[in-house]
Structure 1
Amino acid sequence: MTQPAPTPTVHRVDARHRYEIVVDGQTAGLTAYRDRDGQRVFYHTEINDAFAGRGLASLLVQQALTDARDSGKRIVPVCPYVAKFLKKHDEFADMSDPVTPEVLQWLQTMQTQ
């Protein structure tokens, strides 16, 4: 008899400014963000190679965006994966703000802190 595949879970880790997706007790990937006023600026998403090809990035970003919405945040998709996800998922279009030079400059200062 085969074991069912472990269910991935997504957790927001505020101290590290990211959401992590955990599979069977192991961190499989993350999407990183910084909060700016009423916005959550997503700037990087990655899935560890050992977990690739399972649709985890999509699940991670979908749950992160849902949490941002539930937290009253608008989102800024600096991360190319998040931007691509938004083009395919209209349900988040109402909460997305454009990536502007101002946001990019602010993000660069935040990443050096």
Structure 2
Amino acid sequence: MDLANLKTKDNESESRFELSLDGEIAFIDYKIGKSGDVYFVHTEVPKQLGGKGIGHKLVRESLEIIEQNDCLIIPLCPFVKSFLKSHISDYEHVLSERAKL
């Protein structure tokens, strides 16, 4: 497993960010609000991929996609909230003013 060569993709038709590995897909479901803010609703990493840093990579790269698209997020998912609390100085600029950690 070579995580460095894997990239998170925005699957717009499914409204989720995805990271695919060994036939499994880790993902973050999102919704786009009326204001244009992106709500991170749910993160899921298959058990077979757990404990390998896939979840953190998925969140980091999803936030990079958000940043590249000049969007702001409102994290509802506890995993994403936890990640952001630990890395707030790196990602505070992508949080909507309505976001609560």
CA deviations over 1:75-100 (Å, ceiling 9, x no partner): 1010011111111112111221214x
Alignment of 1:83-94 (within 5 A): 83-89=81-87, 90-94=89-93
Give the CA RMSD over aligned residues: 1.3
1:45 aligns with 2:51: no
Return the letter of the residue paired with 1:27.
Answer: E
Structure 1, unpaired ranges of 5+: 100-113
Structure 2, unpaired ranges of 5+: none
Contact 1:6-1:23 at 8 Å conserved across structures? no
Residues in 2 aligned to 1:27 and 1:92: alpha-carbon distance in whole angstroms = 28
1:6 aligns with 2:2: yes
Residues in 1 aligned to 2:74 and 2:10: alpha-carbon distance in whole angstroms = 17
Residues in 1 aligned to 2:63 and 2:7: alpha-carbon distance in whole angstroms = 14
**Which of 16, 26, 31 is the equivalent residue of 1:29?**
26
Q: Which has the larger radius of gyration?
A: 1
Question: Deviation above 2 Å: which 4+ runs of structure 1?
Answer: 5-9
Contact 2:66-2:94 at 8 Å conserved across structures? no
Residues in 1 aligned to 2:29 and 2:47: alpha-carbon distance in whole angstroms = 17
Number of matched residues? 94
- Residue 94 of structure 2 aligns with which residue? 95
Contact 1:38-1:72 at 8 Å conserved across structures? no
> Normalising by the residue count of structure 1, what TM-score does the alignment of the two structures yield?
0.77
Q: Percent identity?
A: 24
